[in-house]
Amino acid sequence: MKIAIIAVISSIILLFSIIILIGKGDGLIAGYNTANEKERAQINVKRLRSLMVGLLWGVCILLWIPVFFDSKELLLGTHIMMLIAVGTVVYLANSSWCKKK
C-alpha cells in the first residue's frame, strides 16, 4: 500500500515537472504565476524552470529512499534533506541567479 501511494505521488510530481520542462507549466510555478508583467520581465524563465524541475526530480528520488531502506532514522533524514532542498530552491529563486542581467 505504501509503495502504491508513493508511486502515484511521484508520478504526479514527474508529470508536473515534464509540463514545466517543456514550457507549458509556468502557471504552476508559485510566485511566477502571480507576478505582473513588469516582474516577469525581470526573471530568467529558463533558469527558473530548470530550478523547479530539479527540485521536483529531487523530491521524487527522496520519496523512494525510505521504501527501499525501511528505517525510521532514514525517513527523518529524508525529510530533513527535502527541507534543505526546498530552502535552497527558494533562496536561488529569490537571488540574482534567476534574474535577468
pLDDT digits 0-9 by tens, 22-40: 999 988 888 888 889 998 8
- C-alpha cell belonging to residue 100: 535577468
Based on its alpha-carbon atoms, the radius of gyration of the chain, rounded to whole angstroms, reads: 15
6-14 LR contacts (CB < 8 Å, sep 24+):
6/63, 6/64, 6/67, 9/63, 10/60, 10/63, 10/64, 13/56, 13/59, 13/60, 13/63, 14/56, 14/57, 14/60
Q: What is the mean pLDDT of residues 74-92?
A: 83
> What is the model's pTM?
0.81
Per-residue model confidence as pLDDT tens digits over 29-82: 888 888 899 988 999 999 999 999 998 998 888 888 877 777 666 777 778 888
Give the total number of structural domains in the chain: 1
* Count of C-beta atoms within a 10 Å radius of residue 95: 9
Q: Which domain holds residue 45?
A: 2-98
